[in-house]
Amino acid sequence: MLGAEVTFDVAIPKIIWGWLVSTNMWAKSIATGTFLVGLYFVLKYPEKDNFFRKWIPILGLIFIGITLLVTILDLHHMLRFWKIFVHAHFTSAVTLGAWIVSGFVIILLISFWSWASGNRKLFNRIMIPGFILAFFSTIYTAGIMGQATGREIWIFPTEMVSMLLSATLAGSAAFLFIDRLYRYVLDDQIRRELGYILFSSAGLMSALYIGELYFARMHTEFSYKVVKILAFGDVAPFFWLGFVFGLIIPMILVGIAVEKRKGSYAFLGSLSALIGLWLIKHAWLTAPQHLPLS
């Protein structure tokens, strides 16, 4: 007996979660990343923290708004989204995420009011709950992916690290981008540190993805086939362009920017990182959906 082939079957769905969910993860990385990275600078440089006290809530609210918008747009019953609060099922990472992000939105609104009213103490009071909610807002999607039992390439601990690195990459890139738009308002040392964060996040994420390409395929037959789709299949252009634009080019450009003190390189590096991050997230989300589960 040789190979086997399906000769009769119904049409089965392929992409269930598509670009709206990729955009959700991408925008959430920016919203939570700017909070987590910004908080570090507020604490480390309290005398130079005006930039961060202003841009943490503004960027946070814009991108968490995009996150919530695409999440609701992706629902097939958009007007029933409120049921997640009145019929909450807390074994679901989706439910936990909805509640945590709602808390994070409140934190961002308070941060915005703190900046708008000049009440610095108010922001200081919400730093700890803000950190906790931003942290869990970042990683809950890893929980959802971990609960997707059939997609064996999504493993919770790795996804969690990947989400955190995406947040630090996106957060530092967003601040470098804004810094350039306002003609370098940041202190040189802060800009260098943002570069280090972006560089190390991109470096660690590269190692994570390359590690997955080499090692995940050894775990299960499913993972083996997903890695083939990622590296050589339908989503390979997204994956490799995302890898180069999101991780390699930013490391090179930001590395040069930090060493040679050239702000324009950091700007291009951060722009490339933000574009590439979406591409690689989209590839990682859709690749396991290309395989039939039954």
Q: What b/e sequence results for 181-195 when a residue is b if at least 16 CB atoms lie within 10 Å of its CB, and e otherwise?
A: eeeeebeeebbbbbb
Q: For the beta carbon of residue 275, count every other beta carbon within 10 angstroms.
A: 17
Q: How many residues does the chain have?
A: 294
Binding segment for another protein (CB under 8 A), chosen from 42-50, 93-101, 201-209, 270-278, is 93-101
By rule CB under 8 A, what count of residues binds another protein?
Answer: 48
Among 45, 66, 92, 158, binds another protein (CB under 8 A): 92
232 binds another protein (CB under 8 A): no
Cα–Cα distance, 205 to 33 (Å, whole number): 15
Binding segment for another protein (CB under 8 A), chosen from 88-96, 100-108, 117-125, 167-175, is 88-96
Shortest spacing between CB 199 and another protein, in angstroms: 34
218 binds another protein (CB under 8 A): no
Binding segment for another protein (CB under 8 A), chosen from 32-40, 46-54, 204-212, 217-225, is 217-225
Q: Which is nearer to another protein, 15 or 128 (CB)?
A: 15
Q: Which is nearer to another protein, 137 or 270 (CB)?
A: 137
Q: Is the dihedral of CA 203, 34, 189, 46 positive or negative?
A: negative
How far, CA to CA in Å, does 213 sit from each of 37, 104, 219, 226, 227? 29, 34, 11, 9, 6
234 binds another protein (CB under 8 A): no
Q: For the beta carbon of residue 47, count every other beta carbon within 10 angstroms.
A: 6
DSSP for residue 71: H
Query: Interface residues with another protein (CB under 8 A)?
Result: 1-17, 74-78, 80-81, 83-84, 87-89, 91-95, 98, 144, 147-151, 221-222, 225, 291-294
